[in-house]
Amino acid sequence: MTAQASIRIGTRASLLARTQTGWVAERITRCGHAVTIETVTTTGDERGEVPVTRIGGDGVFVRELEAALLSGRIDAAVHSLKDLPTAPTEGLALACVPARALPFDVFVSRRHASLAALPPGAVVGTSSIRRALQVQALRGDVEVRGIRGNVDSRLRKLDADEYDGLVLAGAGLQRLGLEGRITEVLRPEAFWPAVAQGALVVQTRIDDTVTRQAIAPLDDPETHAAVVAERSFLAALAGGCLAPIGAWARWNDSGSLTLDGCVLEAAGGSVRRIVAGASARSDDTPEMLGRAVAEQLRAAGADAMLAAARAMHQAALRDEDRG
C-alpha cells in the first residue's frame, strides 16, 4: 500500500461526535497509520435549538462532512449511521462499519424508575417523531415535549427539572461513559429503535484505496450486514431518517439474519403501528431481506400511514409559521 503521511478524519463538533471519532482514530493508529482529526461544523450543529425537521431533515448532520470529503479537505468522515440518508452520495463509499453499540433507545430520569412509573402529566423530552409516537402509545397521559441539543445539554436540561424524563439513544450514553444515567432500556416490540441506531460508519471517497485499505480492519461483517438490511428496509419504504419507522436486525443462534420493522402513525388521538419481520434464507442478501420486510409492511398499509405522517408534519409546520 502506498504510504500516506496522515489520514485526515473529519468529525462534527459535538462531544459525542468527537468521542466517536477519537475511538475510530485510536483503532486506525493501532493498525500503524498516522491520524489527524479535523472538526467540520454542520448545519444541524449550527442551529442546535431549531427542530431538525425545520432545517432540512435528512442529512443535516452530514452534508458538510461529505462536501469536505469530496473536496479532498479530509480523507474519511465518521458518522452515526442513523443520521446518514439511504440514498448514496456520488463519489463516496460507506467503507467501514465497526461493531455496533447498544442499538436501543433508553429512558433517563432522575426520579422515576421507568417510563411506566411516570406520574400522569409528566414531561418527557425527545426530538424524534418515532420516539414521541411510541411514548404516546405507551403513556398517553404524559406530555411529550421537543428537545434539541447535544447529549450533554439535554442532560443538563433534565437535571434542571425542565423535564421529568428523556428518551435518548443508549449508544451515545455508552460511548460517553454515561451508562450510569440510563434508567431503563426500551426494547422491541414495546419500543423500536431507529434504522442503524448504535452503529458508526466511516465514509471515504470511492477512489481512495489507500484510506479504504487502512480502515478495513475496523469493519465488523455482522454489524455491517445487519445495518445494510435495515437501511435497505428504510429505502424500500421511501422513508428518511426522520420518518416514524423503526427496525432491528440481528443474528440468531442458527447463524441467520433476522430483521423486524415497524411503522407508526398518529391516528384519531391514538397511535397505530404495524410490525413485520423475516429471516434471511441461505441465498438472500441483506438488501433482499430489507426489501422483503418492507413489502410486508406496504401490503399492510405502510404507504398510506407514512403519507399521513408526512401530511401531518407539513400541516404542523404551516401552523407554526402562521403563529
Is the per-residue pLDDT at 42 higher than 50? Answer: yes
Does residue 88 share a domain with residue 13?
yes
Say whether both 138 and 155 belong to one domain.
yes
| Domain around 46 | 7-98+199-219
Instruction: Please tell me the distance from the alpha carbon of residue 89 to that of residue 63, in angstroms, as a whole number.
Output: 10
Q: Would the pLDDT of 55 be above 50?
A: no
Q: How many CB atoms sit inside 10 A of residue 250's CB?
A: 14
Average pLDDT over residues 147-153: 90
Do 241 and 290 fall into the same domain?
yes
Q: Tell whether the model's pLDDT for residue 322 goes beyond 90.
A: no
Q: Are residues 211 and 277 in the same domain?
A: no
**Beta bridge pairs of residue 271:** 266
Q: What is the pLDDT, as a whole number, of residue 1?
A: 40
pLDDT grade for 59, boundaries at 50, 70 and 90? low
Answer yes or no: is 309 within a domain. Answer: yes
**Per-residue pLDDT tens digits for 63-121:** 999 999 999 999 999 999 998 999 999 999 999 999 999 999 999 999 999 999 999 99
pTM score, whole prediction: 0.90
pLDDT (0 to 100) of residue 50: 44
Name the band, by pLDDT with cuts 50, 70 and 90, for residue 127: confident
Q: Is 130 helix (H, G, I), strand (E, B) or coil?
A: helix
Q: If you average pLDDT over residues 193-209, what whole number do you get?
A: 97
Same domain, yes or no, for 203 and 241? no
Please report whether residue 227 resides in a domain: no
Domain annotation covers residue 289: yes
Q: Are residues 64 and 145 in the same domain?
A: no
Quote the percentage of the chain above a pLDDT of 70: 89
Residue 2 domain-assigned (yes or no): no
Instruction: Give every strand in the sheet of 123-125, ordered side by side.
Output: 143-145, 123-125, 165-169, 105-108, 184-186
Question: For the residues 303-320, what does the mean pLDDT come to?
Answer: 75
Same domain, 206 and 63: yes
Number of H helices, E strands in the chain: 10, 13
Section 131-141 average pLDDT: 96
Tell me how many domains the chain contains.
3
pLDDT at 260: 98
Q: Tell me the catalytic residues.
A: 83
Residue 241 has pLDDT above 90, yes or no: no
- If you average pLDDT over residues 16-38, what whole number do you get? 96
**228 domain-assigned:** no
> Does 72 fall in a domain?
yes
The residue among 124, 159, 158, 157 whose CA lies nearest residue 139 is: 124
pLDDT at 323: 53
Look at residue 225 and tell me if it is in a domain. no
Query: pLDDT > 90: what percent of the chain?
Result: 79
Among candidate residues 312, 17, 11, 66, the one with its CA nearest the CA of residue 171: 17
pLDDT at 36: 97
Q: Stretch 217-240: mean pLDDT, rounded?
A: 95
**pLDDT value of residue 2:** 45
Q: What pLDDT shows up at residue 54?
A: 44
- Distance separating alpha carbons of residues 10 and 235, to the nearest angstrom: 26
Q: What is the pLDDT of residue 45?
A: 52
Mean predicted confidence (pLDDT) in 193-213: 97
84 shares a domain with 206: yes
Split at pLDDT 50, 70, 90, the class of 149 is confident
Of residues 85 and 42, more confidence is placed in: 85
CATH at 278? 3.30.160.40
Question: Using CA atoms, how far apart are residues 232 and 236, in angstroms rounded to an integer?
Answer: 6
Q: Around 181, how many Cα atoms within 13 Å sit in the side-chain half-sphere?
A: 24
The CATH code of the domain that includes 28 is: 3.40.190.10
Q: How confident is the model at residue 46 (pLDDT cuts 50, 70, 90)?
A: very low
Q: Are 269 and 313 members of one domain?
A: yes
Tell me, yes or no, whether 74 and 37 share the same domain. Answer: yes
Average pLDDT, rounded, for the chain:
90
How do residues 250-300 score in pLDDT, each as one tens digit? 999 888 999 999 999 988 778 999 999 999 988 899 999 999 999 999 999
Whether 286 is covered by a domain: the verdict is: yes
State whether 259 and 274 are in the same domain.
Answer: yes
116 and 90, same structural domain? no
